Structure 1
Amino acid sequence: MAYLKPPWFVAKVFNKFAMATGVGNSETLTVTRRGSGQPQRIPVVVPEVGGIKYLVSTRGESEWVKNVRADPRVTLGSTSYLATEIPVQDRAPILTVYKPKAGRVVEGYWRKLPDDADHPVFALTPAG
């Protein structure tokens, strides 16, 4: 599966700023790294469709996606969830809501990775 590696500035500077400020509708996702068991934190924009929150990977087969597949227990802000991957054929309505919420920055990702199959999507179920 395809992956668009973020530039150094995004990975080392912008993501930290986004998590600290919530800029661009972002929230902080925490997942458990596959190898080390340590937390991985990244900013994500979380669309809600039909009362369900979703995680969308704009850059494709990212490390956080692989980590969620290995351990679907995630935290969004201070709330714990179980993440379930959505089949490719069911992603379009979620991506339709996601793109305008995420803003113009994601347009370039879809030009480079135009197929819905390139953008893993996970439904979040509260792990109460």
Structure 2
Amino acid sequence: MSTHVQKPGWFTVNVFNRAVAWFTRRGLSVWGSRVLAVRGRKSGEWRTTPVNLLTVDGQQYLVAPRGHVQWTHNMRAAGGGELRLGKKVDVFTATEVTGDDKVPLLRAYLKRWKAEVGVFFGGVGPDSSDDELRRIAPDHPVFHVTVRS
């Protein structure tokens, strides 16, 4: 497994993520944002971060543009979590997407959010070849989200 991580800078952590999370907690989705809550794999405490919820063919996915960051490790350990938008809380299970199944999902993610996260994909964009997307796929975890009814 890749260990690729691009840690966020001060501005992202202290300004951008906080602003997006603030709006999202109040029910205002910023470009499809949700607040992801997942239990810490060691502490068991809830950890939260803003994420972009991708919908493709009626299915929902979470993509980690910065690579194998803490929430991805926690997601693998917990197997799910909560997606929050205002007072609405969707409890979900998560299954990691692997191999070539990631290619169309990464393409869709980049098509929607390239302006926001494109810098983390090494010059690969929504119009890149399948081979280019396959090359970067190991660096960007993708999880299929199934909301519990």
The yes-or-no answer on 1:44 pairing with 2:51 is: yes
Aligned to 1:108: 119
Q: CA RMSD in A?
A: 1.6
Per mean C-alpha deviation after superposition, the further-off stretch among 53-62 and 11-20 is 11-20
Per mean C-alpha deviation after superposition, the further-off stretch among 35-44 and 56-65 is 35-44
User: TM-score of the superposition, structure 1-length normalised?
Assistant: 0.92
Structure 2: gaps spanning 5 or more residues: 24-28, 125-134
Structure 1: gaps spanning 5 or more residues: none
Aligned to 1:35: 42
Q: Secondary structure at the match of 1:98?
A: helix
User: TM-score of the superposition, structure 2-length normalised?
Assistant: 0.80
Give aligned-pair identity as a percent.
Answer: 33
Q: Secondary structure at the match of 1:37?
A: coil
Aligned to 1:86: 97
Shift of 1:12: 2.5
Per mean C-alpha deviation after superposition, the further-off stretch among 82-91 and 24-33 is 24-33
Query: Which letter maps to 2:76?
Result: R
| Partner residue of 1:65 out of 66, 72, 93 | 72
Shift of 1:112: 7.0
The yes-or-no answer on 1:11 pairing with 2:13 is: yes
| Preserved contact between residue 34 and residue 50 of structure 2 (Cα < 8 Å) | yes
Q: How many residues are aligned here?
A: 128
Shift of 1:16: 1.4
Runs of at least 4 residues of structure 1 off by over 4 A? none
